[in-house]
Amino acid sequence: MNRIKIDVASALADRRLQATLFPALQRSVESRDEAVSEVENWEELRDYGRRVKLHTLEKLPFYLEKLEKNVVGHGGKVLWAESGEDAVRMILTIARERAVRKVVKSKTMLGEEIHLNQGLLKGGLEVIETDLGEYIVQLCDEMPSHIVTPALHKSRHDVAELFEAKLGMEPTDDVAKLTLTARNVLRRHFLEADLGISGVNFGVAETGTIVVVENEGNARLSTSLPRVHIALMGIEKVIPRTVDLSVLLKLLTRSATGQRLTSYVNLISGPKREGELDGPEEFFLILVDNGRSQIYEDQFLRQTLTCIRCGACQNICPVFQRLGGHAYGTVYQGPIGSILTPQMFPIAAVEEHPFASSLCGACEETCPVKIEIPKILLRLRQQVQEARNHGIQRFRPERIGMLMWAWVVSSSRRYAIASRWLRRLQSVLFRNGRFRPAVPPVSAWQKDRDVPGLAPKRFREYRESEGAEH
Amino acid sequence: MKVSFFSTCLVDQLFPQVGASAVRLLRRLGVEVDCDPRQTCCGQPAFNTGYASEARKVVSHFIRVYRDVETIVVPSGSCAAMIKCHMLDIFPEGSPQYQEVVAIASRTFELSDFLVSELGVVETGARFSGTVTYHDSCHQLRELGISEQPRTLIRGVEGIQFVEMKNSTRCCGFGGTFSVKFPDISAELGRDKLRWIQESKAEYVIANDVSCLMHLDGLLKRERIPVETMHLAELLVK
């Protein structure tokens, strides 16, 4: 099992990143706030969204089967993948049977989650990301650093350098020229591709429609130009009805990009029908579990699956605003990543992540479906500590410290005695806002901050000395 | 009106003057105040670090001290939120301790909320000449929904200059054990806050949590920035 550490040092030392990240995220937060302020009943919509998603989860098998039935009714095919590897294998089989050579992909975080690109490349296919951000990230062989804006960590200047090196473009900082270049390159790929792969924002059970939200038109081209379209959908993305969609779409686009509606909302119901001019000949919907049903087991933690991947929690999170996505070392990053990833993998692999939060609660406050992220983080912290409680790990300094602390403060007598002893200790070690020598956790604290030190008199004695009566 | 004052462990050990100010303030406003000498801590350090059974031990002691008290006043948004929003999570629903926590939670008030919402206080009779800004501590703001009460009280101080800083609601970066588990991010977030405090031109930063203030003050001192931290209770007895 590979342990994923959060790379704080590199992120904080990266001057370019620190210069672009926070202002960019603050702009996202501001446009989200503005878009939300236009909606009078925003709180009601949030409640509705949360209720719909929780209800769907409660009856998940029912809605998934309904979705399947209706997709099949439109002439689509539905496949069920238990793991990420299963899903990749299914896609490779479909591609092989149809002699596919080139694949165009529109944005799918699930694709990232199951390492789809690597799988397709290994299977001998050419894969092109067509979302501009994803395309940039693919060109530099990196991972997305944000759920919605994958190339968040790149400045316009970075992109110019990249396009110069990889696409032989003339040096320019002109965004219009940069996007035009990408468009010209991508257009060719759209026309040549045999297979288009997309993600799914919502799967409407009642109508068998999948919904793909985007701004660049690349998802529409990826899902309609190639002869085969495969939509990858996490099983938690199903929703009951089209009316629910109207609310969830509002919640999603305003939270994600501060838009009233995205430039394109693709509603896809099966392949091209007789007499239709556009659309793929074949349509596959792959429903992926990949650890989701494990999350589903716990009544409280289940709400993690209501996430609609808007990225608003990432934008507002102070920790994410300083670290960016890559430091987390995981596909899903920031607040949602820190609750999702530990539930999908063995928790010990990402045991740092639930602690990488000051529990400020800004994420929950902004979440369009009111996921109680801080409470979930707290629960996961408990799971991490419990998982550590065997073998030599039981004697870790932190736990010994906590045990001693709890023993002391759960008795007023022991607390009073310890208070006196700590003051004696302090009188020897403490000078001018620092302890010398210092052990953790004090050493971590005083690296950047002065330590207040224990007051000479405790509250009660202090008041006595002030002459207060009790 | 009679209340029991829970000073919190940080005030008890590090900032006793804050507790003393709060008690003086309450008495000045005609409230009878009792301070139970058995009090220790609300258990938050263990709870927030994932040590549930250790937290349970400490909270059990807290329950023993406060089970028979009518009203509890706390000079900290964070500890009040622990009592009102989180203590429930560490006992099984329906257990005797769960029931006791439900009762205690409903009788617990954060200081500024108690003064404004319960007592209807707007002016405490304090006089202070200086420019102050206010930092919203996270748990007080987002878990207890307290934002206007402290501002009302600050505005009620005679002679005061109150300026809002940019991003007053953004976390200062303390976060309890977060500040020692991820000290570099914590300090970075704190320095963001210092920048906004300085931009506001305030001479004092006021908050309702000594934990945030301890973190900010530690950074201010280390960076040699001439801004002072002050707990709301200290300001209101000036």
Tens-place pLDDT, residues B2-45 = 999 999 999 999 999 999 999 999 999 999 999 999 999 999 99
Distance from CA of B184 to the nearest CA of A (A): 8
Which of A264, A293, A322 is the last residue in one of the domains? Answer: A293
On whether residue A153 sits in a domain, the answer given is yes
* Phi and psi at residue B39, to the nearest 5°: -65, 145
pLDDT of amino acid A291: 94
- Residue B51: which of A402, A458, A466 has the nearest Cβ? A402
Query: Which residues of chain A make contact with B57, given a CB cutoff of 8 A?
Result: 406-407, 410
On whether residue A362 sits in a domain, the answer given is no
On whether residue A336 sits in a domain, the answer given is no
pLDDT of amino acid B97: 95
Which of A293, A318, A337 is the last residue in one of the domains? Answer: A293
- Residue B58: which of A381, A409, A433 has the nearest Cβ? A409
- In whole angstroms, give the CA distance from residue B16 to residue A55: 50
Whether A401 has its CB under 8 Å from any CB of chain B: the answer is no
Do the chains contact at A322 and B178, CB–CB below 8 Å?
Answer: no
CATH number at residue A221: 3.40.50.10420
The model's pLDDT over A199-232, given as tens digits with 9 standing for 90+, comes to 999 999 999 999 999 999 999 999 999 999 999 9
Q: Are residues A404 and A264 in the same domain?
A: no
On whether residue A44 sits in a domain, the answer given is yes
pLDDT of amino acid A255: 98
Do the chains contact at A410 and B20, CB–CB below 8 Å?
Answer: no
- In whole angstroms, give the CA distance from residue A358 to residue B49: 11
Structural domain range at position A233: 39-293
Question: Chain B: residue nearest A465 by CA?
Answer: B20
**Over residues A182-188, mean pLDDT:** 95
On whether residue A458 sits in a domain, the answer given is yes
Type of residue numbered A422: L
Beta strands in A55-125 (DSSP E): 77-81, 102-105
Do the chains contact at B184 and A452, CB–CB below 8 Å?
Answer: no
CA distances for B204 relative to B122, B135, B169, B235, angstroms: 21, 10, 17, 10
Output the average pLDDT for chain A.
96
Residue A423 has pLDDT above 90, yes or no: yes
pLDDT of amino acid A439: 87
On whether residue A305 sits in a domain, the answer given is no
Q: Are residues A276 and A410 in the same domain?
A: no
Q: Are residues A418 and A285 in the same domain?
A: no
Q: Are residues A244 and A108 in the same domain?
A: yes
> Across the strands, what pairs with B134?
B206
Q: Are residues A277 and A403 in the same domain?
A: no
Distance from CA of A458 to the nearest CA of B (A): 5
- Label residue A468 by pLDDT band (50, 70, 90): low
Whether B215 has its CB under 8 Å from any CB of chain A: the answer is yes
Whether A318 has its CB under 8 Å from any CB of chain B: the answer is yes
Residue A1 has pLDDT above 70, yes or no: no
Do the chains contact at A462 and B20, CB–CB below 8 Å?
Answer: yes
User: Does residue A254 contact residue A35 with C-beta atoms inside 8 Å?
Assistant: yes
- Residue B218: which of A383, A412, A451 has the nearest Cβ? A451
Q: Are residues A47 and A177 in the same domain?
A: yes
- In whole angstroms, give the CA distance from residue B208 to residue B73: 13
On whether residue A413 sits in a domain, the answer given is yes
CA dihedral in degrees (B182, B188, B189, B191; nearest 10)?
Answer: 140
How many domains are there within chain A?
A: 2
Could you please report the per-residue DSSP string of A155-202?
Answer: -HHHHHHHHHHHH-PPP---HHHHHHHHHHHHHHHHHH-SEEEE--SE
Contacts of B62 (CB under 8 A, 6+ apart): B39, B40, B41, B42, B43, B83, B87
In which residue are the tokens 């001479």 written?
A: B203
Do the chains contact at B52 and A452, CB–CB below 8 Å?
Answer: no
Which of A242, A266, A293 is the last residue in one of the domains? Answer: A293
CA dihedral in degrees (A373, A379, A381, A385; nearest 10)?
Answer: -170
Residue A469 has pLDDT above 70, yes or no: no
- Label residue A173 by pLDDT band (50, 70, 90): confident
The model's pLDDT over A307-336, given as tens digits with 9 standing for 90+, comes to 999 999 999 999 999 999 999 999 999 999
- Residue B11: which of A403, A406, A459 has the nearest Cβ? A459
Q: Which of residues 27-66 of B touch A (CB under 8 A)?
A: 34-35, 37-41, 43, 45-52, 54-55, 57-58, 60-61, 65
Residue B192 has pLDDT above 80, yes or no: yes
Q: Which of residues 28-57 of A touch B (CB under 8 A)?
A: none
Residue A470 has pLDDT above 70, yes or no: no
Q: Are residues A124 and A261 in the same domain?
A: yes
On whether residue A166 sits in a domain, the answer given is yes
- Whether the predicted model's global pTM rises above the 0.95 cut: yes
Question: Chain B: residue nearest A365 by CA?
Answer: B142
